Amino acid sequence: MIKILILTPFLSLSGGVSDYVKLLTKELNGKNFQIKYLEVGKTGIFKKDIFYPLLIFIQFLRLNRFLKSYKPDIVHLNPSLAYGAIFRDFIFLKRINKQGCSILLFIHGWKENISKKFDNIFFKIYFRKRFDTANAIVVLANQFKKKLVKLGINENKIYVSSTMIDTKKYNINNKIFLKPYMFLICTNMIKEKGIFELIEAAPMVLKKYKDSKFIFMGDGKDLKKLKRKTKKMGLEKNIVFTGYLNGKEKIDFFKKSHIFVLPSYTEGFPIVALEAMACGLPLIITSVGGIADFIIDSKHGFLLKTMPPSSNEIAEKIIQLLEHPDLIKKISEYNMIEAKEKYDVKLVSKQIASIYNNIK
């Protein structure tokens, strides 16, 4: 039995990484693996940056105790390539190395402002030294792998994998595309997710399909600003803000919707795209991060070519899908099959299990 310790964001806070860890643990625990997890990251009062160094110190002490008592064979870290997360986990890496266990580093997100630092000689040496301590590194896109290889990391220990979902929860037998149409975006409500471009695209779509609804699911710092813009544009009847939803409520909106739109400026490989595919939704999405590797234009939906995404292009792609019922149905069926055959928890977990076995 291989003992795994997974460092994860707080599992009570649903999100891409925490959902991934819950699925992975449920699928692999007891199948040649004994998995325990340690929750790390910002919470409560420690969400304020001024307290973050103290939080890292406290969590470092907890990690130290856990390593001594549990004695894992492998420690699986899940940082994003963001300043707080990556430097916290670099501190943890030094302590884990002293324990003598193997390390898997799964970089779930990617920030270009940090990866650009790889060109700086000081940062290049620092990042290479830290990444080299890992026995395996998993990223969500080939372009991220290439950047790590350019940094000087051995490509043989870099794996490209995907996020995953339990497709049984999203299964829908026959997706029907009838008016009034519903267009769904599920994301953190911040400017970089293309939320304002989507709002500006709405009047162009509504001119042709006036009873349609745009569903904005999620919370975030720009939500109030987005609501004000909606009111100013007179779109209150056609724009629905659900706030943050989880579980059955969230899945029900995915099942009722007709097209999923995510015009992000940057992404890893968002789980919401897989959730949409599993529910038979065509995607209108930007070709960034892991999306560029896994999503094919005209097969899974339409890839947006403009960056920042153009409101005109978003509207054109939505209308193009609606005006071609045979195409939208074909894409819907393709997405449901592919979600089940490529991104189901059972399949992706096997990939991670294989990496665990390789580095034990």
Residues 143 and 192 in one domain: no
Secondary structure of residue 164 in the 3-state scheme: coil
Residues 196 and 337 in one domain: yes
Residues 280 and 179 in one domain: yes
Q: Give the pTM.
A: 0.87
Residues 315 and 348 in one domain: no
pLDDT tops 70 at residue 267: yes
pLDDT for position 179: 93
Residues 325 and 353 in one domain: no
Q: pLDDT for 143-164, tens place per residue?
A: 889 989 988 999 999 999 999 9
Q: What is the DSSP letter of 160?
A: E
pLDDT for position 238: 98
pLDDT tops 80 at residue 43: no
CA dihedral 122, 124, 127, 130 (to 10 degrees): -90
Which pairs with CB-CB distance under 8 Å and at least 24 residues apart come from 228-236?
Answer: 229/196, 229/199, 230/199, 233/199, 233/202, 233/203, 235/199, 235/202, 235/203, 235/206
pLDDT tops 80 at residue 85: no
Q: Average pLDDT for residues 288-297, to the nearest whole number?
A: 88
Q: How confident is the model at residue 141 (pLDDT cuts 50, 70, 90)?
A: confident
35: CATH: 3.40.50.2000
Q: pLDDT for 178-205, tens place per residue?
A: 999 999 999 999 999 999 999 999 999 9
Residues 210 and 86 in one domain: no
Q: Average pLDDT for residues 292-311, to the nearest whole number?
A: 94
pLDDT for position 45: 55
Q: What is the mean pLDDT of the chain?
A: 91
Residues 6+ apart with CB under 8 A from 324: none
Q: How confident is the model at residue 121 (pLDDT cuts 50, 70, 90)?
A: confident
pLDDT for position 79: 84
Q: DSSP readout, 46-62?
A: GGSGGGHHHHHHHHHHH
Q: Range of 153's domain?
A: 2-164+344-359
pLDDT tops 90 at residue 108: no
